């Protein structure tokens, strides 16, 4: 499959270029808003063409990977869909749920594959956790706690910590991932949320920390904590059920690492899991879906729903009121 990279981004450089090539894909072009950067990024990553024109970036490719800042995803995805390209888009899909719905419906109408790059549901650790829940090993789920307070490294601080117009803030950045991960594990969508947010040393005009509580249709409660400012907290997820608990540490990350423990009456056991690359699996499943086989790990509807939960968390934190999640009709 021939790919065009829409956005000369860090995530492409650190993870996705390698994952696309590992899947057998060929990267034909990269788009940047800066002519110099287009050329230097292309040269650095051995990509034949670095361009500033979107049509040129899509010329001769089967699929695009969109990893620009968030406000650009909508126009770029719509142009790619109109050109008949398959689209793998970064999260959050757009700046609003309505825009994300527009993208996903356009892809459906054009009959192109649309994927959302939620990496966590591709992790062996999370696949193992989901399997434990789905096979009843912890009984009925009572609650989930997500610990995703990290320290944003300096090279990623940029627009994330000071530019709301580009989609900055920890809620669009990390709460969306937690929403996708919880939906993946529980197989249901949050109903409503309460939340608070703050700027705790990094955010300038955007929040750098948030805590929220979500109610699920089953009655389970979910508690999440996201931050850019916590150097020593470590990440994790706990899923507590009537017959057992899953305690996972160090698993809310981009690498296939961390420990998963199943705790039950009379003991606990370490859970083994597969250690493939998270982005490798995402690209493999997306590429197969483009060839008519299966579906992307996270599709467009998953991307709309994770954004809808994050949008509800943002609104609840802003207004101080319990807020229903509006999934935009998907």
Q: What residues line the site for ligand NDP (CB under 6 A)?
A: 7-11, 32-34, 37, 67-70, 90-91, 117, 119, 156, 158, 173, 254
In the complex with ligand NDP, which residue's Cβ is closer, 1 or 156?
156
Rounded least distance, CB 311 to ligand NDP, Å: 15
Partners of residue 238 on adjacent β-strands: 145, 247
Q: Toward ligand NDP, which CB reaches closer, 121 or 230?
A: 121
Task: List, in sequence order, the alpha helices (H) in 45-96.
Answer: 54-58, 73-82
Which is it for the CA torsion 119, 125, 126, 131, positive or negative? Answer: positive
Helices 97-110 and 300-319 cross at an angle (nearest 10°) of 170
- Residue 206's contacts (CB-CB under 8 Å, 6 or more residues apart) are 160, 161, 162, 163, 164, 168, 169, 170, 199
CA distance 238 to 273: 16
Least distance to ligand NDP, CB of residue 140, Å: 31
* Antiparallel, parallel or unpaired: β 267-270 and 141-149: unpaired
| Residue 240 beta carbon to ligand NDP: minimum distance, rounded to whole angstroms | 26
Q: How far is the CB of 208 from ligand NDP (least distance, A)?
A: 15
Q: Which CB sits closer to ligand NDP, 36 or 268?
A: 36
Query: CB 266 → ligand NDP: shortest distance, Å?
Result: 38
Which residue, 21 or 263, is less far from ligand NDP as judged by CB? 21
Q: Give the residue with the Cβ less far from ligand NDP, 119 or 240.
A: 119
Nearest to 249 by CA among 260, 264, 240, 239: 260
Please state the closest distance from residue 147 (CB atom) to ligand NDP, in A: 17
Between 165 and 243, name the residue whose CB sits nearer to ligand NDP: 165
């Amino acid at each position: 499959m021939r790919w065009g990279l829409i956005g000369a981004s860090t995530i492409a450089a650190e993870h996705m270029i390698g994952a696309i090539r590992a899947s057998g894909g060929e990267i034909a072009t990269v788009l940047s808003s800066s002519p110099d950067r287009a050329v230097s990024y292309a040269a650095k990553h051995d990509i034949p063409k670095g361009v500033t024109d979107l049509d040129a970036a899509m010329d001769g490719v089967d699929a695009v990977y969109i990893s620009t800042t968030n406000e650009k995803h909508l126009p770029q995805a719509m142009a790619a869909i109109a050109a008949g390209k398959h689209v793998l888009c970064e999260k959050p899909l757009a700046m609003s749920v309505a825009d994300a719905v527009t993208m996903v419906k356009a892809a459906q109408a054009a009959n192109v594959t649309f994927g959302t790059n939620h990496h966590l549901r591709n992790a062996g650790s999370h696949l193992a956790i989901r399997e434990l829940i789905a096979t009843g090993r912890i009984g009925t789920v009572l609650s989930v706690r997500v610990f995703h307070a990290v320290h944003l490294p300096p090279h990623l601080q940029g627009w994330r910590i000071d530019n709301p117009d580009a989609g900055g803030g920890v809620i669009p950045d990390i709460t969306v991932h937690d929403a996708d991960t919880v939906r993946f594990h529980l197989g249901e969508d949050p109903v409503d949320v309460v939340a608070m947010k703050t700027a705790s040393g990094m955010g300038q005009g955007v929040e750098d920390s948030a805590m929220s509580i979500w109610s699920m249709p089953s009655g389970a409660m979910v508690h999440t904590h996201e931050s850019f400012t916590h150097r020593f907290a470590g990440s994790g997820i706990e899923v507590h059920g009537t017959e057992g608990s899953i305690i996972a540490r160090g698993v809310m990350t981009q690498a296939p690492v961390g420990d998963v423990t199943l705790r039950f009456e009379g003991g606990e056991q370490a859970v083994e899991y597969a250690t493939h690359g998270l982005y490798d699996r995402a690209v493999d499943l997306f590429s197969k879906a483009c060839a008519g086989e299966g579906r992307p790990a996270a599709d467009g509807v998953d991307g709309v729903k994770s954004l809808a939960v994050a949008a509800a968390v943002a609104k609840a934190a802003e207004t101080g009121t319990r807020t229903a999640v509006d999934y935009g009709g998907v």
